[in-house]
Amino acid sequence: IVSNMLAKSTRIAKPAPQLPINHEDIDKTEARLLKGPTSEAWKKVGVKHHYGICVPLFGLKTEQSRGIGEFLDLLPLADFCESIKMDVIQMLPLNDINTDNSPFSPISCFALNPMFLSMEKLPHADQATEEMKKLMADLQGLNSALRVDWVSVREKKEKWMREYLKLQTVKTSVLTSQEYSSFKESNKYWLPSYSLFYTLKRKNNLAGWVDWPETKELDLAAKDGKLSSIQETKQYQALTKEYAEAMEFYQFQQYCCDLQLSAAKKYAESKGVWLKGDVPFLCSGDSADVWVHRDLFQQGYSAGAPPDMYSKDGQDWGLPLYNWSAMDLDNFTWWKQRLQVASKYYTLYRIDHIVGFYRVWAVPKGKKASEGGYQPQDKALWIPQGERILRIMLDASKMLPIGEDLGSIPKEVYLNLQKLGICGTRVLRWERMWENKEQGQPFIPVADYIPDSMSTVSTHDSETLPLWWLLKQDEAKAYCQHRRWSYRVQDLKGQPPKEYQYHLENQNQKIVGKTMPVPYLQDILREANTSSSLFHIHLLSEYLALVPPTTDEEGLIHWDPNLERVNIPGTVQSSNWSYRMRPSISTINQHQVLKDLMLKSRESVQADISPLPERKPHVYERQYSTQLPTKLRVLPGRSYPLGATWDGAGVNFAVFSENGYKAYLCLFETPESKTESHRILMPEYDDFVHHCYLPDLRPGQLYGYRIEGDWDPLNGLRFNSNKVLLDPYAKSIGRDLQWHDSLFPYNIQSPSPHKYLEMNTEDNSSFCPLAAVVDNSFTWGNDHPPNVPWHRTVIYEAHVKALSFQHPDVPEHIRGTYAGLCHESIIAHLKKLGVTAIELEPIHHHVDEKPILDKGLVNHWGYNTLSFFAPDLRYCATRSVLGAVHEFKTMVRVLHSHGIEVILDVVYNHTAEGNHYGAMFNLKGCDNLAYYKTPEGDPAYYFDYTGCGNSLNVRHPRVLQLIMDSLRYWIQEMHVDGFRFDLASALARQFHDVDKLSAFFDIIHQDPVISRVKLIAEPWDCSSGGYQVGNFPVLWTEWNGRYRDSIRGFWNGKGVSLGEFATRVTGSSDLYTAESGRSALSSINFVTCHDGFNLLDLVSYNEKHNDDNGENNNDGANDNHSYNHGCEGSTDDSGINEFRWRQRANFVATLFLSLGVPMILSGDELSKTQNGNNNTYCQDNEITWLDWDLYDDEDEFLQFTSKMIKLRKSHAVLNRRRHLKGEVNGVKDVTWYMPEGHEPSYDDWHNTTKQALGFVMDGDAIVDLSHTGQVHKGETILVLVNAQFFDVNFKLPAHHSGKHWQLLISTDRALKNQCGTSVFQPSSSFTLKDHSISIFHLYAPINQSRANLFRSVNLRKSQDSV
């Protein structure tokens, strides 16, 4: 539909680029806006700063008011604005409304509200009858009310108008006038249908039109006649004739409204004041518009909002959506007519919910708001659709629109509005850098607001500024901190008048008689009024608050600040839409103090307030060293700790080199420096450590080392002082490397096969990576590790960049960064999913290998470490030297605050320096023989257990120290909660074979810091004897590769037996034996990980498809235990897709039903595909980035995954800390069943053709104790598994409790509606679909519970009789 619309518009090309307008001067702004589609409107009002007030018309009051504000009250209000040099009066919608009184769900989007008529000003009103005079007196009596009494006003005004219409002079002179006839003719598009609608609504006792018998008759006639609208039917024409007299009343009311509002506009413009209207985006379903033009609306959907931080379940506003395709066929006549009518009354107008023209959250009728989705679904259509519709609206009238663009708005929408010249809205107290949590989410300077916007301090849906100050003290105090004020509250003087006494009982009674200090209020208004926005419009009530009640003066605001509020969104209460200003308009017109204060609020002079004492925060004046002194003081320093250590007065440098002669500290002034500005011989050498101390240096200083020693590669010595080396203990990378021949220690251009023996004397200082001195200070607050026990842990393996890079709710500038990962939208996803720990792929700063870069790719995974201490700069939003450390710490702190642990994937088995043909970055040049493992007798080469060129020499104490210091640094300084050791078997090769008694394990076991965090091994490497699943010592958990392969093979038909399946599901006790001190919790169970197929590809591909990697599909594993289910890759075949959905659900269900620690791969829950690539190490693109735009099936899979995690967490039988015992107190902890109901035989266990099994895990057979010593009791669950290609009938087992079985969850979506409702008796038959799992729990039916109760009562009666 939208594509057809786009084809008709030749004006839409590409989305507009972002305009650099934040600081343009007024002349440039004017030139830009006068070239756009809103140019005529801008020419009329002028491209200049406009100031105004916003007030609901019903809230105005004059001495002649009738309990409600009226159209002609705008005349004295225009006088008031002229006197204080304001040129805009903004109102809420003035359309006729339903009985809920909300102006945003009008009964007609065209008709005005007749309750706003100034009746005494109507023609011939002086001839009022006695009845009319009495009604007028009654209405006058409502003028003293604190709120609008809509019921009374509506009743009495309508009676008056009906009496007025009966006046003979009105009938003869008004109803017969040419003006009245012209009005009806010019409004024939909407006026007759509106008046007939209102007539029938009254006839049917205000019932909704869907229940009218007339509606049913009209619908039937339209259907029989195949007509698109009920207006085309003969029955409709008959109704207009039948009710012509009744309709005349409503048409006449609209004529009167038109006279008065047009007069108000004309008068206001004569005073230099523009009226600004409000056009609601939607209209009520029970409205004349929807009744008549049903083809223009989607009756099966209502508008709303998705689940977000404001509403976890989403919002359903109950208002129908537009049918844009039908409107397009009608040339958007309805919208054009609507705006043309509005343009008679307004010069400017507010477009409510302007983002709705681009995309709207559509909630299907009868569904929850969370089950809705955006229309259009394709994000690529949002901007073209919105731009085309808005351009049509701009062409329809000469009014200047100002959009309400608050809330979660795609950035592209903001840019498009700028392109169209449509102002947005900036609410000062909400304009903050919300993503910048580490700096307290600072307020955006008002000077940075874009010019084409409207600044305000509140909206009609929010608290007024004083009410916000009193109720939202945390936000108010944050603003005080921004302005360097001390927060305080001002008490009103004297006693509240009697009419306020009853309000002292309301829920906010503590704030009655209080307000915010007037100087603060005045200064906030002044700040908003001096912003770069062209429009500055505030609620009138906020200006009135500048004059609060005192003992000497009554004041201009209510004693109860709650009475100043217009509406509380999401609530239905009589106080909504009933605001009335306390003073009359004549009072404020004569109030010179108020006028002076309002005029001063536009001056730039600071208000007289009490600022906080000036503080000088501890900040550094530079990120990098600038010009260093020619001579620096060099002191001996210390040999420990290694690396660069800032102590508050200077920096200590210490670098290990056992075989090097001399070490030079090289200082660089900027990242662009071609060579060092200072080369300092490090004077001290203790314990093979060169060290010195420089008191003249500060954090941010860039540095490296040069080490002198022998160049003798045949003996393993590769010292080359032509190379500046990165500190092995670098805490921050101040400059990344640039690939160049000088980075290699040998002559890379030599044609000799032994070129690695020839020294390269070219200096590398222009291209080498540099370290930066860091300041470790950080405000951790009350941060503490969540310490989630292993049996409650759910691990989520993720990549920092891929996780958030395409998330629409993460601000674009922090996507793919540490800050993006801890954004509230990502955390909300993790918490909703049930994750307790996020395992991050490597975040140590890594090197992109040159061969990969030459192919136009990068090392996306990052398993090529450059520094074991420095967080990768690639994932830092600011990319600053000191920013990465701070941002990473902030990420950890935020995740911890939500109970989520951080586990790092660490690569200590090799480095980025490669083999003897590799580059030299740090360790090779510091001491090659000490750091790397070389073959005995042939040290020119390297042991390579990883396939990456080298292996660290974990036999050397300094290498072990490097690893342990790194681990402790990440725990103690960066607060991480654990580590996953990549190719951990390589670290256990003390000599050559893997040795679980190696020094590496010994040191970790005795270390009081490292031994207390989560330790996860990838228990294999790439050399012989490296596969060590089940062989790591106590304290270690392992990625259970046997589990992955067996579970994949079982479900994908690879001949895995029931015995093997059962062993993996119950904790792999054959691998992790109790005798070795291990349990099921030693097993990290997983089906997919970053390496290999992800879950969707596992069920969609038989073969790998790695051509994008540029290695002719030769990389990556060939045996994936995968199955494509009938088609290689994606398909439109619904049967195959359903099969794949079920298989993925089977994998997820199996994972979370298994004893051990579950781990899922990021993106699997979102149905992410990698297009068959099972080795995406070099794919930093859409292949690996998560796609958050989900279709229905994908969203359902996400919900299923979340349900399985919740099921696991809520059932103690799935959270055991010990292996199964077999039987506890006469109850089996697990009982296995074949479909026929008997326990499996030996043949059943080992016959690979049998693939159906049931098992009961009994909640009465748990031996685990809680921390208080209580025995864990849990629910008993029954699991039925069928991996065969046909349905299986299971005989449901009996339980010793005598209870029945209730279906909880099934991977068979045909049973979705039965889950949680269907109950089955023991021994009954249950048909389990092929390749599915169904899970049950014990359930006592109501009749059984009653029978047990009756039996116990009868027993007591019989005992009493005995």
Please give the pLDDT value at position 236: 94
Residues 6+ positions from 1308 with CB-CB distance below 8 Å: 1142, 1328, 1329, 1332, 1334
Distance of CA 751 to the CA centre of its chain: 56
Calculate mean pLDDT across residues 1338-1352: 53
As a whole number, mean pLDDT of residues 996-1001 equals 68
The confidence band for 607, taking pLDDT boundaries of 50, 70 and 90, is very low
Mean pLDDT of 980-1001: 71
When mean pLDDT is compared across 343-347, 1207-1211, 1344-1348, the lowest value belongs to 1344-1348
Tokens 């989305």: give the residue: 15
- Concerning whether 982 is annotated as a catalytic residue, the answer is yes
Residues 6 or more apart whose CB falls under 8 angstroms from that of 234 comprise 221
Tell me: pLDDT of 615 over 60. Answer: no
| pLDDT tops 50 at residue 387 | yes
Percent of the chain's residues with pLDDT above 70: 91
Does pLDDT of 804 surpass 50? yes
20 pLDDT above the threshold of 70: no
Using the predicted structure, report yes or no on whether residue 654 has a pLDDT greater than 70: yes
> Who has greater pLDDT, 1027 or 1104?
1104
**For residues 330 and 1306, which has the higher predicted lDDT (pLDDT)?**
1306
| Banded pLDDT at 1222 (limits 50, 70, 90) | confident
Does 352 or 1304 have the greater pLDDT score?
Answer: 1304
Output the pLDDT for position 499: 54
- List beta partners, residue 1334: 1280, 1306
According to DSSP H, which parts of 402-458 are helical? 411-420
Say yes or no to pLDDT of 1209 above 50.
yes
Q: Residue 614 — pLDDT band, cuts 50, 70, 90? A: very low
Residue 6 reports pLDDT greater than 90:
no
Tens digit of pLDDT for each residue in 312-346? 788 888 889 999 999 999 999 999 999 999 999 99
* pLDDT at residue 478, rounded to an integer: 86
- Residue 880, pLDDT score: 78
For 884-923, strand residue ranges (E) read: 901-906
pLDDT above 70 (res 1307): yes
More confident call, 1002 vs 644 = 644
Distance CA 115, CA 161 (A): 10
What DSSP string describes 1149-1199?
HHHHHSSSEEEEETTGGGT---TT-S--TT--STTTS------HHHHHHHH
* Summary mean pLDDT of the chain: 89
Secondary structure class of 225 (helix, strand, coil): coil
Q: Which contacts (CB < 8 Å, 24+ apart) does range 1264-1269 have?
A: 1264/791, 1264/1212, 1264/1216, 1264/1217, 1264/1218
Quick check: 1308 pLDDT over 60?
yes
Whether 127 shows a pLDDT value over 70: the answer reads yes
Q: Identify the pLDDT of residue 1354.
A: 37
Helix (H, G, I), strand (E, B) or coil at 998: coil
What is the per-residue pLDDT across 862-902, written as a single tens digit (0 to 9) for each?
Answer: 999 999 999 999 999 987 778 899 999 999 999 999 999 99
Judge whether residue 272 has pLDDT over 50.
yes
Strand order in the sheet with 297-305: 315-322, 297-305, 360-364, 373-375
CA 218 to centroid of chain Cα atoms:
46
Confidence of residue 27 (pLDDT cuts 50, 70, 90): confident
pLDDT tier, 228 (very low <50, low <70, confident <90, very high otherwise) = confident
Ranges 91-105, 1039-1053, 1342-1356: which has the least confidence: 1342-1356
Q: If you average pLDDT over residues 408-420, what whole number do you get? A: 88
Catalytic residue (one of 70, 982, 1091, 1164): 982
**How high is the pLDDT of residue 550?**
67
- 550/554 Cα distance (integer angstroms): 6
No. of helices (H) and no. of strands (E), the chain: 38, 43
Q: What is the percent of the chain where pLDDT is above 90?
A: 72
CA separation for the pair 95, 279 (Å, rounded): 9
- The reported pLDDT for the residue numbered 1361 is 36
pLDDT score at 630: 73
606-610 contacts: CB < 8 A, separation 24 or more? 606/523, 607/519, 607/520, 607/522, 607/523, 607/526, 608/519, 609/485, 609/517, 609/519, 609/520, 609/523, 610/485, 610/486
> How far apart, in whole angstroms, are the C-alpha atoms of residue 1199 and residue 1193?
10
The enclosing H or E element of 1346 equals helix 1342-1361
Checking if the pLDDT of 1163 tops 80, the result is yes
pLDDT category at 509 given cuts 50, 70, 90 is low
- Please tell me the least confidently modeled range out of 609-623, 908-922, 993-1007, 1128-1142: 609-623
Using the predicted structure, report yes or no on whether residue 504 has a pLDDT greater than 50.
Answer: no
Kindly indicate the confidence band of residue 993, based on its pLDDT and cuts at 50, 70 and 90: low
Q: Answer yes or no: 371 catalytic.
A: no
| Of 24 and 963, the one with more pLDDT | 963
Lowest-pLDDT choice from 302-316, 808-822, 985-999: 985-999
pLDDT reading at 485 higher than 90? no
pLDDT tens-place string over residues 182-213 = 999 999 999 999 999 999 999 999 999 999 99
Q: State the catalytic residue, choosing from 542, 977, 1018, 1108.
A: 1018
pTM comes to 0.59
**Per-residue pLDDT tens digits for 303-315:** 988 886 556 788 8
Question: How large is the average pLDDT for residues 1256-1266?
Answer: 82
pLDDT for residue 622 is more than 90: no
Which residues have a Cβ under 8 Å from the Cβ of 371 and sit 6 or more positions away? 363, 364
Would you call 117 exposed, middle or buried from its count of C-beta atoms within 10 A (0-12, 13-18, 19+)? buried
Cα–Cα dist 567/459, whole Å: 10
Chain segment 706-747, per-residue pLDDT in tens: 999 999 999 999 999 999 999 999 999 999 999 999 999 999
pLDDT at 14 over 80: no
Which pLDDT belongs to residue 1161? 98
Query: Quick one: pLDDT at residue 543?
Result: 94
C-alpha to C-alpha distance for 219 and 291, rounded to whole angstroms: 10
Across 751-760, 1184-1193, 1268-1277, the highest mean pLDDT is recorded for 1184-1193
